[in-house]
Amino acid sequence: MSMNAQAYDTYKKATVETVAPGKLLIMLYDGALKNINNAKKAISAKDINRAHQEIIKAEAIVLELMSSLKMEYEVSQGLFDLYEYLYNQLVQANFKKDIKLLDEVEGFLAELREVWQEAIKIIKCAPAADNHAALQGINVKG
């Protein structure tokens, strides 16, 4: 690995480790949506290898979302089940190179991203004590 690549990797790691949990969550959704969009373009262009790589990246992000849930919260099991479904749809989309399956996953992730974005805005407007308590439910690892 070149010095520039190592420096960039170090920068990326530092950025992820210092970003607020809510922002990191949105970054994960953005990354998955970008990967899905890239995979759809690759499938359309008959670039099967690139489509595979992009879907694998989206799968990894969904797995990260699953692993970051705090299961002591009631909503977490529902989110886990949804993420598991989306992961399985991504696996099938990768196997079949099926744009319709990718569209389905993309729709769910875009909606979840929007909901989390709105929740983060609400949390930012809440008093500091409420803000801290609300963020306890977000556990996104760096």
Residue 34 Ramachandran class (φ > 0 left, ψ -120 to 50 alpha, else beta) = alpha
- CATH class, domain 21-135, is mainly alpha
Q: Is 100 exposed, middle or buried (0-12, 13-18, 19+ CB in 10 A)?
A: exposed
Domain boundaries, the chain: 21-135
Give this prediction's pTM: 0.78
pLDDT digits (tens, 9 = 90+) for 62-76: 999 999 999 999 999
* For residue 141, pLDDT beyond 50: no
The mean pLDDT value of the chain amounts to 86
